[in-house]
Amino acid sequence: MINYDTVIAFLERKNPDAEVVSCFKQAYQTFSKTGEWHRPYQVFTTGWQTLDGVLLMTPEEVFDADYRVYLTATTERGLREILLAFPRRCTGIFHLTEKWMANGVHDVLEGELVHTDDGRFYRGVKRGSGAVVEQRMISKRKDAIAADMRKLATLKGKLEYSQFVVEGDLMVERAVRDGLPIEKILYTTTLLEATEGQSLLKSATADNISCYQVNDGVMGSITTTRPVPSIIASVYFNFRHFLSESGKSNFHFSPGCTMLVAENIANPDNLGMTLRTADAVGVSAVLLSSVGASPFHKNCVRASRGAVGRLPLYYATDIRAAIETLRLSGWNVLGGTSNAEKDLYTMKFSLPTAIVVGNENIGLSIETRAACTELVRIPMASGQSSLNVGVAAGILLYEVARQYSGRV
């Protein structure tokens, strides 16, 4: 349940547009007295330990759009999560209160910036929902839809089309529920044998997602997964470079941010588990080195349990330079390594903090260790000298969160 007093306090602190905040505050005061909104607002919020983002949505009366949308967020993760709550197939006029929001909006929406006397707006729809909705059968492997999905089996195809594939009823259900920008869904009759599968397909069609029924032969030509999954979906993504050409960070952060930096994690299952952990602990973003497993590998997508679609993901061709940029911006960058002198549980953390984990076999590179603010080790009993990278990342990140919140 939304605590509107908390929402208003958040808006008063974070939204620079006093008129927007005042209008919503007056509307809520009327609602508190009468039980009705004199101006019909829909409100979406996000945040785990603290409120991180608020989306206010009201019917649009001036521009050619369904809704006027006011965005307030402190982190890129918060912005992404409230944008994912925006309904598919609806056109919005999004009020951008801060310049840094433009990139995050473009990650989830497709449209254009509109400059008016009232400020900067973005008019658009959720990615994947701008085309005509189709519901039909595909019986031939050469069908254009099947051919397009087949291209996404390779990393080259994923990067070319800015889409990755989600496989299986559990993962597709999560993608639909989380509001990810889904382009299309392909399914076999096996999905319809269970009531859960029927319910999933009903939810997808109700959400105006194009759904195509295929036979096992067509599905088997698209994916190498065996047994052949009963359902797959293509999802839009934007994998941004962390550093601009001038060497500045493309990532927006607030003083309360946490970030995971992963250097050269080679196994996609390990990377997926690490991303899942980062998602659970509420990191603001994840920075990946350009070498190592792709976050869009099907094993990583599966192991991440939806984190690949929810988290803001960045990459760096020079992870050392990226870390130095973080440090110059006031970040504490802590490298996890088994031979560090400092014990995790003797340290006092301050935000913003980035936790750096490394390759499964060799750990952090010498250059990366040298770039970190400090190195830290996880204490272990005799007999083991290291942990799985996903487990290690979880221990480190949760200790940062515990110290910051006092209640993890």
**What pLDDT is recorded for position 185?**
98
Contacts of 296 (CB under 8 A, 6+ apart): 155, 158, 164, 237, 239, 308
Contacts of 79 (CB under 8 A, 6+ apart): 53, 71, 73, 101, 104, 105
The band of 115, judged by pLDDT with boundaries at 50, 70 and 90, is: confident
pTM listed for this prediction: 0.93
**What pLDDT is recorded for position 343?**
93
> What single DSSP character describes residue 168?
S
> How far apart are alpha carbons 91 and 124 in whole angstroms?
5
Q: Give yes or no for a contact between 176 and 204, defined as CB atoms under 8 angstroms apart.
A: yes
Contacts of 72 (CB under 8 A, 6+ apart): 10, 11, 14, 15, 53, 54, 55, 56, 97
231-236 and 182-187 as β-strands: parallel, antiparallel, unpaired? antiparallel
Cα distances (Å, whole numbers) of residue 225 to 8, 23, 215, 291, 301: 48, 52, 15, 24, 13
The band of 408, judged by pLDDT with boundaries at 50, 70 and 90, is: very low
The band of 96, judged by pLDDT with boundaries at 50, 70 and 90, is: confident
**What pLDDT is recorded for position 33?**
85
> What single DSSP character describes residue 158?
H
Classify domain 135-236 at the CATH class level.
alpha beta
130-139, 257-266, 306-315: which has the minimum mean pLDDT? 130-139
Please give the mean pLDDT across all residues of the chain.
Answer: 93
**What pLDDT is recorded for position 334?**
97
| Other CB atoms within 10 Å distance of the CB of residue 315 | 21
**What pLDDT is recorded for position 220?**
97
Per-domain boundaries in the chain: 4-124, 135-236, 240-405
**What pLDDT is recorded for position 110?**
93
Among residues 228, 223, 183, which one has the least CA distance to residue 207?
183
> How far apart are alpha carbons 63 and 58 in whole angstroms?
13
**What pLDDT is recorded for position 335?**
97
- Helices marked H in 76-143: 76-84, 101-108
> How far apart are alpha carbons 71 and 97 in whole angstroms?
7
| Other CB atoms within 10 Å distance of the CB of residue 102 | 14
Count Cα atoms within 13 angstroms, Cβ side, for 70. Answer: 22
Judge: domain 240-405, CATH 3.30.420.130: no
**What pLDDT is recorded for position 101?**
92
Q: Which long-range contacts (CB under 8 A, 24 or more apart) does 10-15 make?
A: 10/51, 10/54, 10/72, 11/54, 11/72, 14/72, 14/73, 14/74, 15/70, 15/72, 15/97
β-sheet with 231-236: strand ranges across = 135-138, 210-214, 182-187, 231-236, 163-167
Burial class (CB in 10 A: 0-12, 13-18, 19+), 76: buried
Contacts of 273 (CB under 8 A, 6+ apart): 303, 304, 388, 390
249-258, 271-280, 389-398: which has the minimum mean pLDDT? 249-258
Among residues 160, 159, 225, which one has the least CA distance to residue 186?
225
What is the per-residue pLDDT across 323-373, written as a single tens digit (0 to 9) for each?
A: 999 999 999 999 999 989 999 999 998 889 999 999 999 999 999 999 999
Among residues 142, 99, 139, which one has the least CA distance to residue 119?
99
The string over 391-405, giving b where at least 16 C-beta atoms fall within 10 Å of a residue's C-beta and e elsewhere, is: ebbbbbbebbbeebe
Among residues 149, 106, 101, 109, which one has the least CA distance to residue 127?
109
> How far apart are alpha carbons 231 and 168 in whole angstroms?
5
CATH topology of domain 4-124: Aminopeptidase (3.40.630)
What is the per-residue pLDDT across 288-319, written as a single tens digit (0 to 9) for each?
A: 999 999 999 999 999 999 999 999 999 999 99
**What pLDDT is recorded for position 317?**
95
15-19, 51-55, 172-176: which has the minimum mean pLDDT? 15-19
**What pLDDT is recorded for position 407?**
40
Q: 319 has which bridge partners?
A: none
Cα distances (Å, whole numbers) of residue 357 to 113, 218, 361: 38, 40, 12
- Say what the alpha-carbon torsion angle 334, 240, 179, 58 is, to the nearest 10 degrees: 100
Helices 18-34 and 4-14: crossing angle in degrees, nearest 10, is 170
**What pLDDT is recorded for position 114?**
83
Residue 406 pLDDT exceeds 70? no
> How far apart are alpha carbons 163 and 233 in whole angstroms?
10
The band of 146, judged by pLDDT with boundaries at 50, 70 and 90, is: very high
Q: 75 has which bridge partners?
A: none
Q: Give yes or no for a contact between 317 and 290, defined as CB atoms under 8 angstroms apart.
A: yes
